[in-house]
Amino acid sequence: MVFVRLTKHDQYQQQLIDKIQDSYESLSTNIKITKKKRTLAEIDILAKNGNTFDAYEVKCSYRITKARAQAKSIRKHFSKNIKNFYFYCGATASLILI
């Protein structure tokens, strides 16, 4: 049996998934938005409810400025309409609507 040790980011991401999974039809993780072999942005958690999507950015510490910049990049490059963009700080377990 092989045990994989999760990074701190992955542990916080799993904590958030456990909290929100009952509120959505489906959840996808680590979605990369690429163009010509170059990564433009990455969505940590993409949650779907009907025709709407919510995106979640997970950070280990309270770095909301970086999360806002990533949200802007995702909104610019992602073809689906994201209704809400959330920032989750793992250290404080706080969820903030951006």
Residue 68 domain boundaries:
8-97
pTM given for the model: 0.88
Task: Report, in this order, helix, strand and coil percent for the chain, each rounded to 5.
Answer: 30, 45, 25
Q: Output the domain CATH number for residue 47.
A: 3.40.1350.10
Between 85 and 39, the more confident residue is 85
- Average pLDDT over the chain reads 90
CB contact at 8 A, 54 and 17? no
* Residue 35: Cβ-neighbour burial (10 angstroms; 0-12, 13-18, 19+): exposed
Residue 30 has pLDDT above 80, yes or no: yes
What's the pLDDT tens digit per position in 56-71? 999 998 888 999 999 8
Position 25 in a domain: yes
Position 85 in a domain: yes
